[in-house]
Structure 1
Amino acid sequence: MVQVVAYDGDVLVVGGGIVGLSAAYAITRAAPGTRVTVLEKEPGPARHQTGHNSGVIHSGIYYRPGSLKARYAVRGAAEMTKFCAEYGIPHAVTGKLIVATDRAELPRLHALVQRGRENGIAVRELGASQIAEYEPQVRGLAAIQVATTGICDFTAVAARLGEASGAEIRYGARVVRIDRRPERGVAVLTDRGDVVRARVLVNCAGLYCDEIARMTGEEPEARIVPFRGEYYTLTRPGLVRGLVYPVPDPAFPFLGVHLTRGIDGDVHVGPNAVPALAREGYGWGVVRPREALATAAWPGVWRMGRQHWRYGAGELRRSVSKGAFVDAVRRMLPAVEAEDLTRAGAGVRAQAVLRDGALVDDFLIQEGPRAVHVLNAPSPAATASLPIGREVARRALAALGDR
Structure 2
Amino acid sequence: MQDVLIIGGGIVGLATALRIKQQRPHLSVTVLEKENRVAAHQTGHNSGVIHSGLYYKPGSLKATNCIRGYDMLLQFCREEGVPFDLCGKIVVATKPEELPQLETLYQRGLQNGLTQISKISPAEMREIEPHVNGVAGIRVPYTGIIDYTAVCEKYAEKLRALGGEIRLDERVEQITPGTSLTVVVTNRATYEAKLVVNCAGLYSDKVAQMTQRAPIDLRIVPFRGEYFKLKPHRQHLVKHLIYPVPDPNFPFLGVHFTRMIGGGVEAGPNAVLAFRREGYHKTDVNLTELFETLSWPGFQKVAAKYWQTGLGEMYRSFSKSAFTKALQELIPEIREEDLEDGGAGVRAQACDRTGGLLDDFAILETDRAINVCNAPSPAATSSLSIGQTVSEKVLARF
Q: Residue 205 of structure 2: which of 198, 207, 210 is its match?
A: 210
Cross-structure match for 2:386 = 388
Cα RMSD between the aligned structures? Answer: 0.9
Q: TM-score, normalised by structure 1?
A: 0.96
Task: Name whichever of 358-367 and 291-300 sits farther off.
Answer: 291-300
Q: Aligned ranges for residues 1-400 of structure 1 at < 5 Å?
A: 7=1, 9-121=2-114, 122-166=116-160, 167-181=164-178, 183-192=179-188, 194-218=189-213, 219-235=215-231, 236-399=234-397
**1:378 to partner: Cα distance:** 1.4
Q: TM-score, normalised by structure 2?
A: 0.97
Render the CA deviation track for 1:128-149: whole Å, top value 9, x for unaligned. 1111111011111111100111
The one-letter code sitting in structure 2 at the alignment partner of 1:380 is: P
Name the CA distance, whole Å, in 2 between partners of 1:390 and 1:104.
Answer: 40
8 A contact 2:17–2:387 mirrored in 1: yes
Name the CA distance, whole Å, in 1 between partners of 2:216 and 2:264.
Answer: 39
SS in 2 for 1:106: helix
* Structure 1: stretches of 5+ with no match in the other structure: 1-6
8 A contact 1:246–1:258 mirrored in 2: yes
Name the CA distance, whole Å, in 1 between partners of 2:79 and 2:126.
Answer: 34
Name the CA distance, whole Å, in 2 between partners of 1:398 and 1:77.
Answer: 25
SS in 2 for 1:327: helix
Taking only the aligned residue pairs, the percentage that are identical comes to 51
**1:221 to partner: Cα distance:** 2.1
8 A contact 1:45–1:158 mirrored in 2: yes
8 A contact 1:371–1:396 mirrored in 2: no
Render the CA deviation track for 1:180-199: whole Å, top value 9, x for unaligned. 11x2221111112x011110
SS in 1 for 2:79: helix
SS in 2 for 1:378: coil
8 A contact 1:15–1:41 mirrored in 2: yes
* Structure 2: stretches of 5+ with no match in the other structure: none
Name the CA distance, whole Å, in 2 between partners of 1:263 and 1:395.
Answer: 34
The one-letter code sitting in structure 1 at the alignment partner of 2:385 is: P
8 A contact 2:56–2:108 mirrored in 1: yes
Name the CA distance, whole Å, in 2 between partners of 1:146 and 1:33.
Answer: 42
**1:84 to partner: Cα distance:** 1.2
Name the CA distance, whole Å, in 2 between partners of 1:116 and 1:20.
Answer: 28
Render the CA deviation track for 1:359-387: whole Å, top value 9, x for unaligned. 00000000001100000001100000011
8 A contact 2:6–2:31 mirrored in 1: yes
8 A contact 2:256–2:327 mirrored in 1: yes
Name the CA distance, whole Å, in 2 between partners of 1:394 and 1:257.
Answer: 36
8 A contact 2:277–2:289 mirrored in 1: yes
Cross-structure match for 1:4 = none
**1:290 to partner: Cα distance:** 1.2
Render the CA deviation track for 1:81-133: whole Å, top value 9, x for unaligned. 12111111121111100000011101111111111000000211111111111
SS in 1 for 2:396: helix
SS in 2 for 1:353: strand
The one-letter code sitting in structure 1 at the alignment partner of 2:243 is: Y
Render the CA deviation track for 1:287-316: whole Å, top value 9, x for unaligned. 111111122221111111011111111111
